[in-house]
Structure 1
Amino acid sequence: MRLDDIMTTDTGTRLTLTYAPAAEALNNDALRTENILGIVLFDSPLSAGIDADQSSGILKTPLSIYGSDVCEIWGTTQTVVPGHYLDIRYRRSATLTLGSITLAITSPTDDGDNISPPPIQSCAQEAYQQIFNLLQQSGHLHLLRVWNFLPDINRSTHGLEHYRQFNIGRQSSFIAHNRLTEESSIPAASAVGTSSANLVVHFLAGRHKSVALENPRQISAYRYPKEYGPCSPTFSRGGWLNLDQQHALFISGTASIVGHDTLHIGDVAAQTQESIRNISAVIDEANRVAGHHLHTLNTLNYRVYFRNIADLSIIQTELNRLIAPATKTLYTQADICRSELLVEIEATGGVVHL
């Protein structure tokens, strides 16, 4: 079936997010199902032998998951077809696109601190350049949610921390594609550090525009003062999407930050509590925008990034106290964008669970 046929025959859509054992999802060859946008795999012995390029629907995440080997399965009620554009592999329906790009961070043989621009900055700019070009060509103009995975995010090379290098490259592409002229179009996002040598970016985009959400307890990330780097991070605190009467909520990676200051340095329990207070504030803002009490802490799914394995049990204890234990929560080990942060939490709500 041609994509043009799908675009004209599919009508309404729903976004779905389910969780399944990775072995079960892959053994059932879920990507042959015409409604699957993609399967997000985490590092495990099972995923190690799977090449993401074998199918555009496998999104490999360079982070280890703790607990059972669970994957995320993103889908829709529309027919989905695979595709690729330069380094991007994606699957799309008439309304939604889920894609991934992986770029190797390489330096010239005479690697030195005088390289301009630094390799991570160049790769970030190239990744977002490709993403924006694809969205422009596909008609799915609106970037809804982005997950960024950076090598050694807190390390400094070429005179600047890797996260700050990444922010320069990302913002350069946003400016080049005229995507900073309207703050309401800035997507929800997360950015965490990995031990991989690659920059990996997963993204969800679509025909429908989301409403960017900010947290009244925090300064908008794109307005951070210069002490956090030459360019501010380009993301909103969350995004609310009204998709054919489905009210989806994407909450960005959220940490123990009030205003623009890191709180509770060295105290992972207090940082977890502060992160949940911030998530609750974004939920309140989403409900205000929607005009209805649509979302609560107990109706969201969570992905938790923790820096130190020794802190995991403390974080789990706090979340089990603050959120209903039945709530789906995935735990992955990663470095956080600020070296003093020990935990970061993102959330998704309003999606249909099949």
Structure 2
Amino acid sequence: MLKFSSTHSAIPEFEQAVNAIFKQLQTINNLVKISFFTGVHSGCNPDQQKAIIARYAQSTLDLVHTGIPLIEQKPLGCSVSVEYATYEGDGTICQKHDKGLDYILIEEKGKRLLILNGISASNTLTLEEQAKAAFDALRFILKKTGFPLNSIARQWNYIPGIIAFDKGIQNYQAFNDVRSRVYNTTSWPSGYPAATGIGIDGQQLIIDILAVEGYATQAISNRKQIDAHEYSANVLLGHSSLKTSPKFERAKAAVSGSYGMLFISGTAAINGEESDIADIRQQTLLTLEHIELLCSSLDNESMRIQQLRVYIRQKEDFDQVQKICHEHYPDAAIIFVQADVCRDELLVEIEAFATFEV
């Protein structure tokens, strides 16, 4: 089973913050996923930040090929935030590297997990071209490791200028159209992956995935929301010739033996398919209500939210959103970052990870 958590540093100088974080990570066993969230630091551009992270990963964790993405979203309440996942079980963890891609393969008796981080392409390409290249790389690793495309249980999509338009086509729509073309090459008997599509400050699209094999998977719907893949053209923006809906489920459960994991997609204050609430407090409360509905849909009293990632559009809303989230989930590990959400009117988006017993 995987467990997600987070750690943070308030040290303003980037390398010192990274050093402090890796000293904490060094004490944690069976790390299988690490993601850095950071904004602009004086005298340290993103390429320099990546080099610093890679150096400390190698020196403190003995990770030669780090597979640690740098997500350009400004943390709120600190200078650097890190989300990490650990593996608990009797499987074998293998670090892999192929054609510039780093990934983790966890092999258990009759089951496997694949964690592939930081899939990207040159930021000199258009968003559509970046998406095509990233999905080609994704499919290469899936084929290399023997995972079918429909084994993806969770996907994170970090999209530059997510609500911006290029020649009349919204970047988010361009990404969705590429994803649809790829996903339409196979069937999805247990539903699409849980997913997040969120804006970043940089110019480079980044995709992370988690795929499972040998797990019982199930798509989870929210009775108060239309499934995103069933959205009508009314809420899809731009002049794309395809104009396909976002291919993800509201949540995805993966069960193995006596335990289960619930991956809750990026969730916002949408009723049906409409988003018409302007107040940040009401948006946050409705978003958390949707997350609770997804958790309760499995009718399992052992369900426990372990981790939240909270995306806030406007920095001035941080204090209010933080207070509400901590009141609802005082024991959860939470990351707060500033990021554009996929609709202009949405001020907050929240994703979650929960575990439960079977």
Residues matched between the structures, number: 316
Letter in 1 for 2:314: N
Distance 1:219 1:29 in 2: 39
1:149 partnered with 2:122: no
Q: CA offsets, 1:59-92, max 9 Å, x none? A: 3222122234342221223332222333532122
Q: 1:333 aligns with which of 335, 338, 356?
A: 338
Give 1:1-354 correspondences, 5 Å limit: 14-21=1-8, 23-27=19-23, 30=26, 35-43=30-38, 49-51=49-51, 55-68=65-78, 69-76=80-87, 77=89, 78-94=91-107, 95-100=112-117, 101-107=119-125, 119-141=126-148, 142-176=151-185, 178=186, 181-182=187-188, 184-207=190-213, 208-229=215-236, 230-264=243-277, 266-285=278-297, 287-288=298-299, 292-295=300-303, 299-321=305-327, 323-350=328-355
**Structure 2: which 5+ residue stretches go unaligned?**
9-17, 55-63, 237-242
Aligned to 2:15: none
* SS at 1:56 equivalent: coil
Distance 1:73 1:195 in 2: 21
* SS at 2:322 equivalent: helix
* SS at 1:185 equivalent: coil
Distance 2:306 2:31 in 1: 21
Identity across matched positions, percent: 25
Aligned to 2:59: none
* SS at 1:197 equivalent: coil
Q: CA offsets, 1:217-255, max 9 Å, x none? A: 111101100123311001100011112322111100000
* SS at 2:69 equivalent: strand
Residues 15 and 327 (structure 1), Cα distance of their counterparts in 2 relative to 1, 3 Å cut: closer
Distance 2:306 2:355 in 1: 7
Asked if structure 2 preserves the Cα contact closer than 8 Å seen for 1:39 and 1:58, the reply is yes
Distance 2:212 2:271 in 1: 31
Distance 1:263 1:29 in 2: 42
* SS at 2:50 equivalent: coil
Distance 2:257 2:122 in 1: 38
Letter in 1 for 2:82: C
Distance 2:274 2:189 in 1: 22
Distance 2:209 2:292 in 1: 24
Letter in 2 for 1:135: L
Q: CA offsets, 1:25-58, max 9 Å, x none? A: 524674996x321211111659853337762342
Distance 1:224 1:175 in 2: 16
Shift of 1:159: 1.2
* SS at 2:121 equivalent: strand
Letter in 2 for 1:156: F
Shift of 1:23: 3.6
Asked if structure 2 preserves the Cα contact closer than 8 Å seen for 1:82 and 1:90, the reply is yes
Aligned to 1:8: none
Residues 191 and 301 (structure 1), Cα distance of their counterparts in 2 relative to 1, 3 Å cut: same
Q: CA RMSD in A?
A: 2.5
Letter in 2 for 1:93: I
Residues 172 and 67 (structure 1), Cα distance of their counterparts in 2 relative to 1, 3 Å cut: same
Asked if structure 2 preserves the Cα contact closer than 8 Å seen for 1:96 and 1:205, the reply is yes
Distance 1:25 1:139 in 2: 34
Question: TM-score, normalized by length of structure 2?
Answer: 0.81
Worse-superposed segment, 272-281 or 75-84: 75-84
Letter in 1 for 2:121: L
* SS at 2:205 equivalent: strand
Distance 2:127 2:219 in 1: 27
Distance 1:244 1:138 in 2: 23
Distance 1:228 1:271 in 2: 18
Distance 1:224 1:349 in 2: 26
